[in-house]
Amino acid sequence: MPDVLVAGGGPTGLLTAFELERAGLDVLVLERDTRPTTQSRALALQPRSAEVLADRGLLAALEPHVQARLPGGHFSGIPIDYTDLPTRFPYQLGIEQAHVASAIEARLRTPVLRDAAVTAVAQNGEGVTVTAGGRDHRAGWLVAADGGHSTVRTLLGAAFPGTSARISLVVADLTLTNKPAGLADAWQLPSSKPEFLLPLPGGRHRAVVVGEEQQRLGRDAPVTAGELQRALTAAHGPGIEVGEVLWASRFGDAARQLERYRHGRVLFAGDAAHIHLPVGGQGLNLGLQDAVNLGWKLAGHIRGHAPGGLLDSYHDERHPVAARVLVSTRAQGVLGVPDPDAVAVREIITGLLAVPGARRAMAMELSGIGITYPGTTGRATDIPVAPDGRPVLVGAALPADWADLVETRDGSRPQLLRPDGYLAWAGGPGLDVALRRWVGPQRATSPAAASMP
């Protein structure tokens, strides 16, 4: 029996499995689709995600697929320069989401069981039973990373407050049989308009359209080549000709977030926990950061050495970060409305974001570099995380009680690094307090000894 089941083999579920596996747990991923997806909603990785993937040796495999290093991000199309950010990656990586997921999956020992859609979940004090692909699977815990329409969320009746979609957009990858002059032939940041057309490798183009026809059609109406042709002609003139539509999907500006990320032995991560307009390139990155925040805490809890409350600090730390992204994307959505009042607000915001301090604050937020958690002093930029997912103590003697639980390294600057890369202590008094808070009060026990939540 695995220690943990993960529902959903998207980027969030796969990185969560990677983190749990790194910490020595047995994991099984249950994925609805029969084969790995080639469809990519996200096309960009923020700097903090690049750091996280690089620290785990996962970035090198992505290099051949990187289409662009964009020198900044954007706030509703207003460019935000990243070049002075304190990171090895002061840019957004232009890369298709499917490559990110497959690079993580290629490094997993954890099996990914496909054609295994979760249809039922039951839990008691001992563990969870998950029905997927018509079979029952037992484990101690379930991580629900089954995306924005999360079945697990519905099955548990978890409160998911927020607002429903008021606008409808279409995303599509397609080929063009005729391209008018003047279309961008390299990746670039979106403009102030929500629509864009971007060249992808292999002669494909990514189109996002939002017009009157999209508002009229129902959410489940199939996207046709005719609909895309009409929308692209309206945006780019009669010279544009749509060839083949490779995949297409409707999406909107619904903004919702789970009230609680933990429901007994079920923990939610990624789009299953929060949905919002995908403007500014935040969703994939939120999910990856959820995964690295949750993995070591759940592992510590299962192994039995984690202090009380460590697992719940996952909700406490990550809920506010996603709540802030919902605020940011709601505001960006308003700035994208072609209405004279919204255009006036955009003009004011554009001016404010030209002020260096404001621009930098926005860059720190959008890039994920500015994220800090209570009791930490930000992320480490120069200490690689431990391959086995343990915390790392640099330049200080480790008290005997924590001998097996913490990796020690020489160094002139004393620091304690949490397994997700955040600094829990930076010299001076308080090392014992930090160890007790983040690692636990006693030596590890075996996973089998893990107790009730």
Residues that bind ligand FAD (CB under 6 A): 7-13, 30-33, 41-44, 97, 117-118, 145-148, 151, 171, 251, 270-271, 278, 281-285, 287
Supply the minimum distance, in Å, between the C-beta of residue 207 and ligand FAD.
10
- When the beta carbons of 90 and 281 are compared against ligand FAD, the nearer one is 281
With the CA atoms of 305, 285, 144 and 116 taken in that order, what torsion angle do they form, in degrees rounded to the nearest 10? -120
Q: Which residue is nearest to ligand FAD (CB)?
A: 10
- When the beta carbons of 324 and 436 are compared against ligand FAD, the nearer one is 324
- When the beta carbons of 130 and 306 are compared against ligand FAD, the nearer one is 130
Supply the minimum distance, in Å, between the C-beta of residue 336 and ligand FAD.
14
Supply the minimum distance, in Å, between the C-beta of residue 210 and ligand FAD.
11
Q: How many CB atoms lie within 10 A of CB 172?
A: 24
- When the beta carbons of 50 and 302 are compared against ligand FAD, the nearer one is 50
Q: Are 25 and 302 in contact (CB under 8 A)?
A: yes
Q: How far is Cα 392 from Cα 204, in angstroms, rounded to an integer?
A: 44
Supply the minimum distance, in Å, between the C-beta of residue 14 and ligand FAD.
8
Q: Are 51 and 415 in contact (CB under 8 A)?
A: no
Supply the minimum distance, in Å, between the C-beta of residue 51 and ligand FAD.
15
8-state DSSP, 405? T
- Order of strands, edge to edge, in the sheet holding 44-45? 44-45, 92-94, 68-70
Q: Are 118 and 131 in contact (CB under 8 A)?
A: yes
What amino acid occupies position 392? V
Supply the minimum distance, in Å, between the C-beta of residue 440 and ligand FAD.
29
User: Following DSSP, what letter does each residue of 347-383 receive, concatenated?
Assistant: HHHHHHTTSHHHHHHHHHHHHSTT---TT---B-SS-
Supply the minimum distance, in Å, between the C-beta of residue 311 and ligand FAD.
20
- When the beta carbons of 104 and 444 are compared against ligand FAD, the nearer one is 104
| Letter string b/e over residues 16-29, b meaning 16 or more CB atoms within 10 A of that residue's CB | bbbbbbbbebbbbb
Q: Which residues contact 161 (CB under 8 A, 6 or more apart)?
A: 256, 257, 259
Supply the minimum distance, in Å, between the C-beta of residue 92 and ligand FAD.
9
Supply the minimum distance, in Å, between the C-beta of residue 115 and ligand FAD.
10
- When the beta carbons of 43 and 435 are compared against ligand FAD, the nearer one is 43
Q: Which residues contact 359 (CB under 8 A, 6 or more apart)?
A: 80, 81, 353
Supply the minimum distance, in Å, between the C-beta of residue 41 and ligand FAD.
3
- When the beta carbons of 223 and 424 are compared against ligand FAD, the nearer one is 223
Q: How far is Cα 240 from Cα 238, in angstroms, rounded to an integer?
A: 6
Supply the minimum distance, in Å, between the C-beta of residue 208 and ligand FAD.
6
* Parallel, antiparallel or unpaired: strands 407-409 and 392-394: parallel
- When the beta carbons of 254 and 426 are compared against ligand FAD, the nearer one is 254
3-state secondary structure of 53: helix
Q: How far is Cα 385 from Cα 107, in angstroms, rounded to an integer?
A: 17
Element (H, E) at 188: none
| Letter string b/e over residues 111-129, b meaning 16 or more CB atoms within 10 A of that residue's CB | ebbbebbbeebebeeebbb
C-alpha angle with apex 141: 98 to 445, nearest 5 degrees?
115
Q: How far is Cα 388 from Cα 290, in angstroms, rounded to an integer?
A: 19
Q: How far is Cα 311 from Cα 78, in angstroms, rounded to an integer?
A: 38
- When the beta carbons of 363 and 444 are compared against ligand FAD, the nearer one is 363
- When the beta carbons of 10 and 440 are compared against ligand FAD, the nearer one is 10
- When the beta carbons of 97 and 415 are compared against ligand FAD, the nearer one is 97
- When the beta carbons of 47 and 283 are compared against ligand FAD, the nearer one is 283
Supply the minimum distance, in Å, between the C-beta of residue 108 and ligand FAD.
14
What amino acid occupies position 450? A
